[in-house]
Amino acid sequence: MIAACIFGCSGPHLTPEEAAFFREVQPWGFILFGRNIENQQQVRALVADLRASVGRPDAPILIDQEGGRVQRLRPPHWRRYPPARAYAGQDPELAWLGGRLIADDLAGLGINVDCAPVLDVPAPGAHDIIGDRAYGDDPVRVARLARAFADGLIAGGVVPIVKHTPGHGRAGADSHLDLPVVGEARTKLEAVDFQPFMALADLPMAMTAHVVYTAIDPLRPATTSPVVIGEIIRGVICFDGLLISDDLSMKALSGDFTSRARDALSAGCDVVLHCNGDMDEMKAVAAGVRPLEGLAHRRAQAALASVSAPPQPFDADAAARRFDAAFSHWVNT
């Protein structure tokens, strides 16, 4: 039985303890971070070992490859990509090209899910944890550029995950370290923050925000709020794809890891994410998860099937030359 969770591992090679744990727990997928990455050959081997540990050659492998500050694959083995803000004012075709080039990098390693694009709309005075990771301050422009980037990923056989629904742009704190509380009126949230997520609600996967919206649920962050998930993400935004929690190890959440996992799933997340590879924490998360079945399982299958067709023909060298010419300031610094 597949468990409704995604785990990381501790280093560039799977340990025997990790392999045995994953074999027993059967997480739906895995996520890679900088600590897991040395070079192409090593990453391909790790990806193969992770899938072998659960006996599923199609197990999803995730990575955060946005560009800019959030880029796990870095030079000298991979190209440098600009942050999302660099696409502002550019033709959306360049955002598509960025997504398509990243997909080419990931697919060559066996990675089939990218935790991007970011749909958050930053507000004045907000914490800079989003900052230049956003495509701009106008929700319509954010949606247009993010759509192009996501389409580029899909064209290259990689599933995008939009984040951080229903919006992290007003947060005054970094949810890695603290629990952000947003006091904006619901009417303003619906008019601005939710708009990009509504425009891209047809995409196959989304990641929650560890943010409290006092106008909607003053007690719980979106990740563990049945009100935010049911009324806003599934209702107002109309997202019906696979909903993944943001990382359960972030300090915005409270309680033990078993409770965090159980609360997120009970609130309406389909799958929970735990990233840091800490074995004790993963065991506690595993104790709080349930089998991936029913509607959540169908959503997971549909998400992976959304890129089942072979990637479209693509001249990577020509695309890279065009991309680098357009973003020479970013890629050469």
Q: What is the distance between the alpha carbons of residues 17 and 175, in angstroms, rounded to a whole number?
A: 30
DSSP state of 203: S
| CA pair distance 28, 219, nearest whole angstrom | 30
Amino acid sitting at position 86: A
Tokens in use for 15? 């340990």
First to last CA, the chain: 47
**Which phi and psi (to 5°) does residue 63 adopt?**
-155, 155
Q: Which of 13, 58, 176, 256 is catalytic?
A: 176
Give which of 40, 41, 62 is closest to 51, Cα–Cα. 62
- β-strands 113-114, 159-165: how paired? parallel
Q: Which two tokens stand for residue 70?
A: 């959030």
Whether 176 is a known active-site residue: answer yes
d(CA 242, CA 300) in angstroms, rounded, equals: 6
E strand segments, 25-107:
27-32, 61-63, 65-67, 70-71
Residues sharing a CB contact under 8 Å with residue 26, sequence separation 6 or more, in sequence order: 1, 2, 3, 54
What DSSP element (H or E) covers 271?
strand 271-274
CB 183 within 8 A of CB 236: no
Name the active-site residue from 104, 114, 246, 263. 246
**Which residue numbers are catalytic?**
176, 246
